[in-house]
Amino acid sequence: MAKLLIIGAGGVGNVATQKCAAMGVFSSITLASRTLSKCDEIAERCKSRHGVTVKTAKVDADNVPELVKLIKTTESDIVLNLALPYQDLTIMDACLEAGVHYIDTANYEPQDEAKFEYKWQWAYRERFEKAGLTALLGCGFDPGVTNIYCAHMGKHAFDTIRNVDIVDCNGGSHGKAFATNFNPEINIREITANGRYWEDGTWRTTKPLSVSQTFDFPGVGERKMFLLYHEELESLCQNIKGLKRIRFWMTFGETYLKYLDVLQTVGMTRIDPVKVGDVEVVPIKLLKEILPEPSSLAKNYTGKTCIGCVVEGEKDGKFKRQFIYNVCDHAECYTETEGQGISYTTGVPAALTAKLLAEGVWKKPGVHNIETLNPDPFLAEIGQWGLPWQIVDLEHSVA
């Protein structure tokens, strides 16, 4: 049985650690972050709910020697990185030095530029392959499950996929005037960037939140969704053969957008330092500290999420259009894990990925986006761990 080290004790870390504890495939689990008290709180949940002892540790995920020491001390075989995207490369470096496998849920982005892409992590391919180690990238829901949905549709439902629209709706309510469902800094940087989509072999750019339309989400209803750039587009456009277009859409409420517009207008979303007296302050980092901690939203969250892929293409010479998706209930997530739906939909797939890697099902030396792996074992299990999926025919396309 494998020994697992989880780095990151936020909302996703809470869900993923509890799920890993329930899976019964790890001989030991260690949860580490900068804040030991958060790790201890999650470990207590694992003990009381699943009867599993989770060890805890304090670690600076920006410090490679410290990470290596922890990996070796815990004799870990797999590192599940649920820390900030800024820390992906240091954790990958530590995994290579310590000789262990690596998993994450979001691709690397530098702190000083609101830009995220896979080139930095793809550059590790040869080193992981030569070391006989597996690195699995983007193993949450989107990216993650959405990639696997596309792989499933290409393997079982379509001969050729032409168009994919990934649609993400949070139809829930947390009762706050303004809050983000995951790390505010990462969330706001993502939303305020230019939109991008891939069509006919070319990347096309749109102004932030300038393209929108209404979509009827199962379990939620009609919601206005906006075109964004999201990291899974970068790998999927390379790995889906015959693809003509792929886009990503996310819903936002009017109140959320109004607050965001004001924050941008007054400069609170800036990522460059501002001099305040004798101190330099990065506005978005200050905003992160002021806004509610995402995990604190869970208790009063109501409503559902719906995330999936609208896929168009051909099967047996005929055109078809289908929607593969999951619906997740915030309140049910809290009852089970004391987490909200956004953390749940990210943490559950990450835990299942760790299980499949530990069992050798998805063990493949190198650096991989998970749509390149066999989707069948994952989709055979994800429902029993809390995220069932289904496929329906659609009459209308995403415009």
- 341 pLDDT band, cuts 50/70/90, is very high
CA distance 265 to 252: 18
At 182 the pLDDT is 67
At 149 the pLDDT is 98
CA distance 233 to 253: 24
- Average pLDDT of the residues in 119-146: 98
Cα 251 to chain centroid distance, Å, stands at 16
CA distance 178 to 110: 26
At 112 the pLDDT is 66
Bridge partners, residue 251, by sequence: 225
Give 35-86 as a DSSP string: -HHHHHHHHHHHHHHH----EEEE--TT-HHHHHHHHHHHT-SEEEE-S-GG
CA distance 347 to 182: 12
Averaged pLDDT of the chain: 94
- Average pLDDT of the residues in 213-227: 97
At 134 the pLDDT is 98
At 296 the pLDDT is 79
Q: What percent of the chain has pLDDT over 90?
A: 78
In the predicted model, is pLDDT for residue 47 greater than 70? yes
Is 14:295 a contact under the CB 8 Å cutoff?
yes
At 291 the pLDDT is 84
* 134-137 β-sheet, strand order: 55-58, 26-33, 2-7, 78-81, 101-104, 134-137, 366-369
At 184 the pLDDT is 74
At 114 the pLDDT is 64
Cα 305 to chain centroid distance, Å, stands at 14
* Of the listed ranges 43-47, 221-225, 261-265, the one predicted with least confidence: 261-265
At 351 the pLDDT is 98
* Of the listed ranges 218-227, 278-287, 335-344, the one predicted with least confidence: 278-287
- Average pLDDT of the residues in 145-154: 98
- Average pLDDT of the residues in 371-392: 98
Q: Tell me the pLDDT tens digit for each residue of 242-281.
A: 999 999 999 988 888 887 888 888 888 888 888 888 888 8
At 179 the pLDDT is 77
| Residue 390 backbone dihedrals phi, psi, to 5 degrees | -150, 165
At 59 the pLDDT is 98
CA distance 113 to 92: 20
Task: Name the CA dihedral angle for 38, 103, 370, 391, rounded to a multiple of 10 degrees.
Answer: -20
Tokens 């200050």, residue? 286
- Average pLDDT of the residues in 115-124: 91
At 193 the pLDDT is 85
Fold assignment, 145-337: Dihydrodipicolinate Reductase; domain 2 (3.30.360)
Q: What percent of the chain has pLDDT over 70?
A: 99
Q: Tell me the pLDDT tens digit for each residue of 275-319.
A: 888 888 888 888 888 888 877 777 889 999 999 999 999 999 999
Q: Tell me the pLDDT tens digit for each residue of 233-242.
A: 999 999 999 9
- Average pLDDT of the residues in 339-367: 97
Identity (one letter) of the amino acid at 134?
T
Give the orientation angle of helix 88-98 with respect to helix 64-74, to 10 degrees.
Answer: 50
The beta strands (E) that lie in the chain are given as 2-7, 26-33, 55-58, 78-81, 101-104, 134-137, 160-170, 195-199, 202-206, 212-217, 221-228, 245-251, 274-276, 279-281, 304-315, 318-329, 366-369, 390-393
- Average pLDDT of the residues in 182-188: 74
Q: Tell me the pLDDT tens digit for each residue of 50-83.
A: 999 999 999 999 999 999 999 999 999 999 999 9
